Amino acid sequence: MTLASTASALAAAALLAGCGFQSFARSDAAVERATAALEAEERARLVLVEPLLTAADGRVERGAAGRVRAAAGAAGEALAGLASGVRTPEAGAADERAQATLRASVLRLMEGAERTPRLRADPAYRAAQARLEEADGRVAAAQRRLLDAVRERRAVHGVGLTGLHAGELAADGARRLRDGGGGQLVAGTARIAAGLAGMVGVAWELR
């Protein structure tokens, strides 16, 4: 009885480990793809900033245009740092701040342009603004996809921890059967059954 129970626990643990590894790998890969997609959209948006400034040249407050150029430079440096392969949490946070600053400065420039009738009616400026706004929408969509991928990865890791606890319960049951004799038969068997059920359930979730 003890040998059979221990063997069952080990078999379920192996099943859980295999499924868990695959699910962890899939969730990690999904986050990596979403991160790369977001950075690609941010780079595409960055390219569209200068055409907007060129179209607005001389017809918006000089300080506003200067702030946009400075923010674009900082955003470009942050993206270059990520492209170098250094994807630390600090580098990711720096990119988020730089992108937020860029977007805020561009929005302030656009608000100023709305108060300038000639610029508001300029087809070149309007076209540059429309392209940048479309890029903003793509960046926002990529951010949502990354957030969803990160949440999914956290959920997968949480299920994995539940599986570890179930494995510990089954192992405790096996120890009770091994060391406790007949007095631990019911308790040990119950723990093994509960642990195995938990591990199989988690393996199903992580399939």
Average pLDDT of adjacent 10-residue blocks, the chain of 207 residues:
47 50 74 91 94 87 88 91 76 89 92 84 92 94 92 69 58 68 63 62 53
162 neighbors 198 (Cβ within 8 angstroms): yes
Residue 89 pLDDT: 79
133 neighbors 179 (Cβ within 8 angstroms): no
Tokens 């790369």 map to which residue?
A: 36
Residue 27 pLDDT: 80
User: What are the sequence ranges of the domains in the chain?
Assistant: 2-205
Residues ≥6 apart with Cβ < 8 Å to 173: 5, 9, 187, 188, 189, 190, 191, 192, 193, 194, 195
Residue 123 pLDDT: 92
Residue 101 pLDDT: 94
Residue 193 pLDDT: 67
42 neighbors 99 (Cβ within 8 angstroms): yes
Angle at 100 between CA 124 and CA 151, to 5 degrees: 120
